[in-house]
């Protein structure tokens, strides 16, 4: 059964998670509304991330470079690469995200959704959740990795 989680301007639909794949992968479709973004640059050292564009355009900032992902474009983000993303277009951007091995699952996004529902989260609260699930936030002045 597909699990759907909405966080602000993003919707995630989980097809598979580490819990259902013997920790081999997490697979989800992400829709980012115009203006939606992952504002905190971060990296992960336990998994790689592959993005496949489905609809619209999503701009990813990876290792100091802006990369636009549209339909049928793909991007591999290796462990340790600092990244963030945003949708600067005027239509929703949709992509398929695969994390290998599976380590994150929907739990992180559920917890983040609860935090954001309460209003603008304190940066230290957001950072604590990120770190608990293996996402390492990077200060804005150090995003060129």
CATH of the domain at 10: 2.60.120.10
Q: What is the pLDDT of residues 28-87, one digit of tens each?
A: 999 999 988 876 899 999 999 999 999 999 999 998 899 999 999 999 999 999 999 999
Predicted local confidence at residue 139, as pLDDT: 78
- With cut-offs at 50, 70 and 90, classify the pLDDT of residue 144: low
45 within 8 A of 136, measured Cβ to Cβ: yes
Residue numbers of the domain that contains 12: 3-138
- Distance, in Å, from the CA atom of 120 to the CA atom of 46, rounded to the nearest integer, reads 28
Domain assignment of residue 20, yes or no:
yes
Domain assignment of residue 103, yes or no:
yes
103 within 8 A of 47, measured Cβ to Cβ: yes
20 within 8 A of 26, measured Cβ to Cβ: no
Strand, coil or helix: 57: coil
Report which of residues 141 and 80 the model is more confident about: 80
Predicted local confidence at residue 40, as pLDDT: 81
Predicted local confidence at residue 1, as pLDDT: 64
- Distance, in Å, from the CA atom of 29 to the CA atom of 52, rounded to the nearest integer, reads 9
- Distance, in Å, from the CA atom of 61 to the CA atom of 140, rounded to the nearest integer, reads 12
Q: What is the pLDDT of residues 71-95, one digit of tens each?
A: 999 999 999 999 999 998 999 999 9
71 within 8 A of 55, measured Cβ to Cβ: yes
Q: What is the pLDDT of residues 91-132, one digit of tens each?
A: 999 999 999 998 888 999 999 898 888 877 788 888 899 899
Domain assignment of residue 143, yes or no:
no
Counting the structural domains of the chain, the total is 1
- Distance, in Å, from the CA atom of 121 to the CA atom of 101, rounded to the nearest integer, reads 29
Number of H helices, E strands in the chain: 2, 11
Domain assignment of residue 144, yes or no:
no
């Amino acid at each position: 059964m597909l699990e759907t989680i909405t966080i602000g301007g993003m919707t995630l639909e989980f097809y598979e998670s580490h819990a259902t794949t013997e920790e081999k992968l997490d697979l989800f479709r992400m829709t980012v509304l115009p203006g939606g973004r992952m504002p905190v640059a971060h990296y992960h050292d336990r998994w790689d991330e592959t993005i496949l564009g489905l609809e619209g355009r999503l701009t990813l900032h990876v290792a100091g470079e802006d990369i636009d992902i549209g339909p049928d474009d793909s991007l591999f983000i290796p462990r340790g690469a600092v990244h963030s993303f945003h949708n600067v277009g005027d239509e929703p951007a949709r992509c398929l995200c695969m994390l290998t091995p599976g380590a994150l699952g929907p739990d992180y996004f559920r917890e983040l959704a609860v935090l954001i529902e309460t209003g603008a989260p304190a940066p230290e609260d957001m950072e604590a959740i990120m770190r608990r699930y293996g996402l390492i936030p990077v200060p804005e002045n150090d995003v060129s990795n």
